[in-house]
Amino acid sequence: MTDNRRSRTRRARLAGLPVVLVAAAAALAVGMGAGPAAGLDTPPPTPSPTTSVATSTAPTTTSLPAPLPLPTTTPTVVGLAGGGYVLARVADKKPAAYLNPDTPVTGVLPFQRLRLDVQLLNAASVAQSVTPTLEYRVAGTGTFRPVPRQAAPGVPFSVTTEWLAHGVGSTPGPTSVRINVADEHFAVAPPLVRVAGHRSSGANPDAPRSVAPGTATEEEFTVQASIDAAYGTAYELRVTDAGVPLEGLANARVTIAAVPALKLSPGQRTGKRPGTRVAASASATRGAAGIELVAAYPLMVTPSITIGPNGPGTIHNPFGSTTTAQCGICHRTHWARSQNLISAASETAQCYACHAGGTGAAADVQAEYAVTTRLNDPTTRSYYSHDTSVPGHSLDSDNEFQATLNRHSQCSDCHNAHAATTAAATPTTTGWTAPGGFTDVSSVAVTNGAAGSAPTYTWTDGHTPATAGHEYEVCLKCHSSFTQLPANDPAKPSRDFTDVAMEFNPANPSEHPVEAQGANQSQKMADSLAGTSPYKIWNFATTDTLRCTSCHAGSATSSTASADSALTVHASANRGILIRPYEDRVLSASGAFYDAAGSALCLTCHMQTPFMNQDLPWAATGTNFRYHGLHVSGISTEGSGGLDIDTPGAGQGNARCAECHFRIHSPASATGNQTLAGTGLVSFAPDVTGSVLMGGRPTYTATSTGGTCTLMCHGKDHQGARYLR
């Protein structure tokens, strides 16, 4: 349809509208004038475990070989409506090739990717919300159905990600991309103005959006034809608002190519169906009756094997002459859909083929990720999951992280699918051994130096076991100075990325004992670990070491779990992927009572009595600091500052654990200019400042019988205050 024909058609639609709608449109035009309209809500950034950018930068605009003509759209509906559509072919590592608007696409082959871009119009005087949803049907017949996120039997399409250039190879593109106004494919007639659009690759429906009044925007989906897209068949694609059609928006037509012609090599001939007989060649020494053809092995048959724990028949290992069929569970030689001959569209989708509800696998990983409904927010460094959709991964045996800002967490960064077992982690005096799920995974071992210093690292590629085979060595690939940690914001120390390897150095005066036994072997600490609390999970002794997953694990972990359980750090409902909540950013308001939930993480190991009771004899039980109860439950209305722990001088009521134990791994990475003894895990939060009367910086000294604090906290000036054990 030409631009003139389209304009005439839409004018005709406008003429046929109820008078009240036409009048409303005219009133809007007069009321808006020529001023700019409010823009579209900015789409959220792609979820990531960190704020870093993958080494292959994802394009945020649509690159075209030549500009396409922009059709002018006139609104015909007062409210949310559709304009036109445009289709594009997508090839790996190349710019998308867009057709002219409202033009069908033909000759599509299975596994080819397309983009469908539609225009959304809002001629109303108020914002309109929309949940863009991509749907399909056979052209001209049947019911429209949502396009699934993963390929499914009998379904001709699925939404998909795109592959971007990454060095000599490629990497999955982002699932969420902003479309700049300059790269949109439709012009609009006044009074509407264009605002930025959004592309969804790999998600359907897209996240809800708000379309500002008097604006036009675009919504785009990346879709892939599946092996079940029937040759020679035409399909229709459309974008709806959560299943509700958008008035004025035509359906896009996609036609699959005809059945490819059979190409024979010299000497070959077309075969016959099984059971028929063909005449023998005159030159062949066959019987006159000919030969009977045998049916080939079905192309897409999935082998069925018996799964057992770490023995013959196990999906992941071992591999031998009696278990070779298990390779076909994950790999396909001729119709693999992603790298490494994986049959699913992505590594995560392949893992979910077994590790999802109802599939029979022991670990329902998909359910673990579903525990949290909150997305990672890199802008505030609020992380609830190790996001498997973040690009940047090549191969686990590659040294992808050393001295490189390359934050990502694909399944194979922590798991070797060819070697994984169900073996449990075991405790040692130098840390817990790696569980079977970490077998043959790349890691870094540490050689520690002086207190407060970073260690030296030894990289292992996973084919050779780590030097000590510890669980924490897998974590240190990303969470230590072995890699390049993202830059921190000096105004927000509570959001810092810290060098965990330096913090867990056993030479430090105190640290949570991950790499060696803890420094505090006192009876008071033994009592604390043996005591009870409403959040108690672990029963450690002073001579035990901890796992990283003792604190960082799924929030659904049972309170009856054992320390050697198959604890996972996939996702949690708690920020920091913590097993239980820990409030270390917001302070207690004036008059707020003691709340154990704010320090539930601490209470998974430690007894609660010292924190809920101000009576000194009771408070002395299970603690080397008898004034714990006074600080967290007996201050109430001491100060008048704010509630942000990163603000110097903040604090109104009862103290939080994080104000005196700000660096919970160890004080080795204490903030600011504090003077610390380094014992007792004491390091002060930014809201704690130096004493006004005594000047200087916040200080903490320790003796065999207690300690001394000189600082200002919650409006209270501590002038060398002494505390007895």
What would the DSSP string read from start to end of 123-154? -SSS-EEE-EEEEEEETTSS--EEPPSS--TT
Q: What is the C-alpha R_g of the chain?
A: 32
Extended strands (E) in 265-348: 277-278, 291-292
Residue 484 CA to residue 660 CA, distance in Å, equals 28
Residue 305, class by beta-carbon neighbours within 10 Å (0-12 exposed, 13-18 middle, 19+ buried)? middle
Report if residue 598 sits inside a domain.
no
Report if residue 233 sits inside a domain.
yes
| Cβ-contact 196, 81 below 8 angstroms | no
Which residue in 596, 635, 591 sits closest to 614, CA to CA? 635
Residue 365 CA to residue 370 CA, distance in Å, equals 9
One DSSP character per residue, 625-677 reads -TTHHHHHHS-SS-----SBTTSTT---SSPPHHHHB-SSS-GGG--TT-EE-
Q: Which residues have C-beta within 8 Å of that of residue 184, sequence separation ≥ 6? A: 194, 197, 217, 218
One DSSP character per residue, 522-561 reads -HHHHHHHHS--TT------TT----GGGTSS-TT--TT-
For 191-229, b/e burial (b = at least 16 CB within 10 A) is bbbbbbbbbbbbbbbbeebebbbbbbbbbbbbbbbbeeb
Q: In the 8-state DSSP scheme, what is residue 251? A: P
CA distance readout (Å), 321 to 293, 298, 318, 326, 330: 29, 21, 10, 11, 18
Structural domain boundaries, residue 55: 3-256
Residue 439 CA to residue 468 CA, distance in Å, equals 13
Return the H-helix or E-strand segment holding 174. none
- Whether pLDDT at 218 is above 60: yes
> Regarding predicted confidence, which is higher, 238 or 70?
238
> Regarding predicted confidence, which is higher, 335 or 642?
642
Reading phi first (left if > 0) and then psi (alpha if -120 to 50, else beta), residue 225 is in beta
Is the previous residue joined to 191 through a cis bond, with omega within 30 degrees of 0?
A: yes
Residue 283, class by beta-carbon neighbours within 10 Å (0-12 exposed, 13-18 middle, 19+ buried)? exposed
State whether the Cα torsion 90-91-97-99 is positive or negative. Answer: negative
> Regarding predicted confidence, which is higher, 93 or 676?
676
> Residue 617: what pLDDT?
56
Helix, strand, coil % over all residues of the chain, rounded to 5: 15, 20, 65
3-state DSSP assignment of residue 600? coil
| Cβ-contact 543, 529 below 8 angstroms | no
Show the tokens assigned to 280: 């023998």
Q: In the 8-state DSSP scheme, what is residue 495? A: G
Return the H-helix or E-strand segment holding 232. none
Q: How many CA atoms lie within 13 A of 149 on its CB side?
A: 11
- Whether pLDDT at 18 is above 90: no
Which residue in 9, 201, 239, 241 sits closest to 92, CA to CA? 201
Nearest 5°: phi and psi at 219? -125, 130
| Cβ-contact 402, 482 below 8 angstroms | yes
Which strands form 675-676's sheet, in the order they lie side by side?
675-676, 699-702, 706-713, 716-724
Residue 689 CA to residue 639 CA, distance in Å, equals 13
> Regarding predicted confidence, which is higher, 604 or 23?
604
> Regarding predicted confidence, which is higher, 312 or 717?
717
Show the tokens assigned to 485: 């940690």
CATH number at residue 225: 2.60.40.10
Residue 11 CA to residue 25 CA, distance in Å, equals 13
Across the chain, mean pLDDT equals 82
Calculate mean pLDDT across residues 135-152: 93
Task: Assign 291 a pLDDT band (cuts: 50, 70, 90).
Answer: very low
| Cβ-contact 572, 374 below 8 angstroms | no
- Whether pLDDT at 511 is above 80: yes
Report if residue 166 sits inside a domain.
yes
Report if residue 127 sits inside a domain.
yes
Extended strands (E) in 45-92: 72-73, 80-90
C-beta atoms surrounding 13 within 10 Å: 15
Nearest 5°: phi and psi at 324? -65, -25
Q: Which residues have C-beta within 8 Å of that of residue 619, sequence separation ≥ 6? A: 609, 610, 613, 626, 627, 628, 629, 630
Task: Assign 231 a pLDDT band (cuts: 50, 70, 90).
Answer: very high
Task: Assign 622 a pLDDT band (cuts: 50, 70, 90).
Answer: confident
Which residue in 190, 195, 181, 207 sits closest to 127, CA to CA? 195
pLDDT digits (tens, 9 = 90+) for 62-118: 333 344 455 555 555 667 999 999 999 998 878 899 999 999 999 999 999 999 999
CA dihedral 555→560→565→570, nearest 10 degrees, is -10
Of these ranges, 59-63, 332-336, 349-353, 430-434, the one predicted with the greatest mean pLDDT is 430-434
> Residue 700: what pLDDT?
94
Alpha helices per DSSP H over 190-290: none
pLDDT digits (tens, 9 = 90+) for 433-485: 999 889 888 999 999 999 999 999 999 888 765 444 899 999 999 999 999 99
Report if residue 52 sits inside a domain.
yes
- Whether pLDDT at 612 is above 90: no
For 533-572, b/e burial (b = at least 16 CB within 10 A) is bebebbebebebbbbbbbbbbbbebeeebebebbbbbbbb
Which residue in 438, 435, 417 sits closest to 353, CA to CA? 417
Q: In the 8-state DSSP scheme, what is residue 71? A: P
Show the tokens assigned to 566: 């198959």
The count of domains in the chain is: 1
CA dihedral 452→454→455→461, nearest 10 degrees, is 150
Return the H-helix or E-strand segment holding 530. helix 523-530
| Cβ-contact 483, 477 below 8 angstroms | yes
Nearest 5°: phi and psi at 339? -60, 160
> Residue 615: what pLDDT?
59
3-state DSSP assignment of residue 190? coil
Bridge partner list, 85: 118
| Cβ-contact 676, 667 below 8 angstroms | yes
> Residue 634: what pLDDT?
85
Report if residue 223 sits inside a domain.
yes
> Residue 559: what pLDDT?
94
> Regarding predicted confidence, which is higher, 266 or 103?
103
Is the previous residue joined to 59 through a cis bond, with omega within 30 degrees of 0?
A: no
* Percentage of the chain exceeding pLDDT 90: 55
Report if residue 35 sits inside a domain.
yes
Return the H-helix or E-strand segment holding 708. strand 706-713
Residue 521, class by beta-carbon neighbours within 10 Å (0-12 exposed, 13-18 middle, 19+ buried)? exposed
C-beta atoms surrounding 12 within 10 Å: 10
- Whether pLDDT at 535 is above 90: yes
- The amino acid that residue 283 corresponds to is S
Report if residue 401 sits inside a domain.
no
